Amino acid sequence: MAHNRKLPIALASIVGALLVIYVGGGIFFQNHMLPGTTVIGTEVGGQTVAAAHNKLTKNYSNDQYQLVENGTVKAKASSKQLGLKQDFTTALNRVKSSQNAWSWPAHLVGSGNAHGSVASLSKSQLNAYVDNVSSKLNTNRTAPQNASLVFENGALREKKEVNGNSIDPTKLSTALTKAIADNQKQVNLQTTYAKPTVKTSSTSFMKQKDTLQKMTNLDAKVKVANHTITISKQQLADWLTYTNGKVTVSEKGLTAFVAGLNKKYATYQAVRDFKSTKRGTVKVSGGTYGWSINQTAEVKDLANAIAAGKSFTKDAITQGSGYHKNGQDIGGSYVEVDLANQHEYVYKDGKQVLNSAIVSGKPDGHSTPKGVYYVWSKEQNTYLKGKNSNGSSYSSHVNYWMPIDYTGVGLHDAPWQPTFGGTWYQQHGSHGCVNNPPAFMPKLFAAVSVGTPVIVF
């Protein structure tokens, strides 16, 4: 009977001890992770949230992210290189709040798991790494090629897009950011390849092909004075290209074309055949009179006209003086200065209306410059100033002044000259101007308007 009384006491003692352990464990696990708890693969059972956070931070501070291609690691990036900072507090608190501290005995043979963390990235560090590694990885790699359209032997041909294996930095940055967010340690580089942006199968490509074909069949013409120049289909084909999804007109080709037109037709600084009054047809070059094509403006205007995709006939954009759509340059109204004969003639609409003997520049370095000029201003009662051959200054009053170039040469009265014509100019010539008799100059001034050509030869 005594033996039977001791057994209940022993059992009660064991139960009591287990109860103490259970209660003690329950109290302990109020502030600690249950046994067997793992967070992102790390054992944190029996630890407070703070201690578990420190352990996870230490474990993941030197994370390595691998850039893999066809099973081979091509590059690595540490958390530090990427400017990555992990915050595991959210995941740990979620695990802790889901645990029942009084169920700790059951966890001695089980486990609780949690995944994820809050990661912050330094964009500047990430971009710096991506730019650097992309540059290195792209050495000897093939960049993608967009589909294009080219003219071969006058026919429009498609060139299909080509896939490459160069790394797109933007795609790599996105892939790394996603891997970090998903707690993945590898990035497949093949998913970061740059891709062609223009493909032959796209609707836009086919539309542009149709547009390009139509543009080569434009009836395109440029009018320069009394000449009409037709742009050939071959020229259009040479100038038109399709690059990166856009039809473009070659500025280089147009520049050469317009330069050719200017060289052929422009009159500024050109050599002209001039039918003189006494010496027959003479060649005259130089001077300030004449026109040229404004090549910069014309190239732009022509490119816009072609790009519009409609047939056109346009006038060339010109600059300077003397441009006439009928092809005339000097025309029928002009002043002729014959230096050899020391004579001046005024023509209006092809008819001579005035003429006079003159005194031109003295041939001691002051000869009157030859060329085709024009009257660009008219003044009365003014002073002409300059330097004499001996270096002294002069200031001469004139009643009429008509400058023809930009160095001080012009037509004016010269009351100081006792005679005009002949060989007087050889010893008594001007400083370059065309001296006119005082009685003749008022007639010349009245008959000649601003813009009138002056041919000096």
CATH number assigned to the domain comprising residue 421: 2.40.440.10
Same domain, 413 and 308: no
* Under 8 Å between Cβ of 424 and 435: no
Q: What is the dihedral of CA 11, 12, 17, 21, to 10 degrees?
A: 100
| Residue 124: inside a domain | no
| Residue 138: inside a domain | no
- Is residue 431 annotated as part of the catalytic site, yes or no? no
Catalytic member of 53, 107, 366, 433: 433
Residue range(s) defining the domain that contains residue 408? 334-456
Residue 328, SS3 per DSSP? coil
pTM for the whole structure: 0.62
Same domain, 311 and 343: no
Tens-of-pLDDT digits for all 457 residues of the chain? 445 566 677 777 777 777 777 777 678 878 988 888 887 667 888 889 888 788 777 776 667 899 999 999 999 998 888 887 777 777 788 888 888 878 877 777 655 555 455 556 788 999 999 999 999 999 999 999 998 888 887 788 888 999 999 999 999 999 999 988 787 899 999 999 999 998 989 888 888 888 888 899 999 999 999 999 999 999 999 999 887 778 889 999 999 999 999 999 999 999 999 999 999 999 999 999 999 999 999 999 999 999 999 999 999 999 999 998 888 899 999 999 999 999 999 999 999 999 999 999 999 889 999 999 999 999 999 999 887 777 788 899 999 999 999 999 999 999 999 999 999 999 999 999 999 999 999 999 999 999 999 999 9
- Is residue 412 annotated as part of the catalytic site, yes or no? yes
CATH number assigned to the domain comprising residue 271: 3.10.20.800
Q: Residue 19, exposed/middle/buried by CB under 10 A (0-12, 13-18, 19+)? A: exposed
Catalytic member of 343, 412, 428, 431: 412
| Residue 9: inside a domain | no
Same domain, 313 and 339: no
* DSSP-H helix ranges across 182-250: 203-215, 233-239
Total domains, the chain: 2
